[in-house]
Amino acid sequence: MKNEVLVVGSVAFDTIENANGSVQRVLGGAASYASLCASYFAKPSVVAVVGTDFSDRDRAPFVRRGVDLEGLQIKEGKTFHWGGCYDKDFNTAVTRFTELNVFQDFNPVLTERQKKAKAVFLANIDPELQLAVLNQVKNPKIVACDTMNYWISSKKETLLEVIKRIDVLFLNESEARQLTGEYNLIKAGRLLLEQGVKYVVIKLGSNGAMLVSRVGIAQLPPYILEHVHDTTGAGDTFGGGFTGYLASLRKWDRLTAIKRAMMIGNVMASFTIESFSVDRLAGLTQTDIDKRLKEYTSMLKF
């Protein structure tokens, strides 16, 4: 039986416009991308909240991938809905609207089984909620956490408390600089290590990802695609793949394992950006993944 990965975050609807077209109210949210990606390596269990407008059709990708939805709360009202657009470079999303709806009062309550999860991925949510989850779980072997600029600005001290209690921190380059006040990313990563986290993974968008740890530093490029369809959810996919892969290992805290997890994250994110929503990510085969990992490994060799 696969090791369980607890994924806590948002399950949402997205309305997106970019150079390739637009979509209305498609499945999105950090927990959606992360759990679906993790399902290829471990057994994901989601803790999130949706409204009564969340249909069986919306659940279908989770069901097909065997994602446990026991922790998906259903509240009277509407599901979290985000709308945004991208320029041609796809690097930056401009938010047009954010309707929190039932997500505004989200309170993650874990079942007894979820409290015993071997791995935890805290997606980008209020650090107070992340702390609430950390206070419920019982000795997970790995805890990874994502964050964003809004929480750095509004709840920095709480976020620093979270960082003291986790193994892996994901954030992008501007967030690393904002959180530490240090422009150089290696120095910023080392400052975060001093806060207690073991590994800092700085997402570099179209330039891949950088690892800063006490035992080594690494930077991996992305898997290069000729056509990018939509980058929404790429970072969440990276985090889900990274955490899910490490959860599948007997011993995860070695530099080689972390670097391999970064490879997995980059490759899985490359599938996500080939479509709107989770369409491409949710329909993969193991052959698809193995083929692309082989191509990516070959790309890294001289």
pLDDT digit string, tens, across residues 269-278: 999 999 999 9
Class of domain 4-300: alpha beta
pLDDT tens column, 152-164: 999 999 999 999 9
pLDDT, residue 144, reads 98
How many CB atoms sit inside 10 A of residue 106's CB?
A: 19
Cβ(244)–Cβ(42) below 8 Å: yes
pLDDT tens column, 31-77: 999 999 999 999 999 999 999 999 999 999 999 999 999 999 999 99
Please state whether the predicted TM-score (pTM) of the whole model is above 0.75: yes
Is pLDDT of 25 > 80? Answer: yes
Structure token digits, residue 69: 């939805």
Structure token digits, residue 271: 């599938």
Angle formed by the axes of helices 255-272 and 30-38, nearest 10°: 120
Instruction: Provide the Cα torsion 116, 122, 125, 127; round to 10°.
Output: 80
Cβ(124)–Cβ(12) below 8 Å: no
Domain boundaries, the chain: 4-300
How many CB atoms sit inside 10 A of residue 193's CB?
A: 16
- Distance, in Å, from the CA atom of 249 to the CA atom of 111, rounded to the nearest integer, reads 24
pLDDT tens column, 264-299: 999 999 999 999 999 999 999 999 999 999 999 999
What's the gap between Cα 280 and its chain centre? 16
Question: Concatenated DSSP letters for 197-228?
Answer: -SEEEEE-GGG-EEEEESS-EEEEPPPP-S--
Q: What is the mean pLDDT of residues 191-208?
A: 94
pLDDT tens column, 83-103: 999 988 787 788 999 999 999
What is the β-pairing status of strands 217-220 and 209-213?
Answer: antiparallel
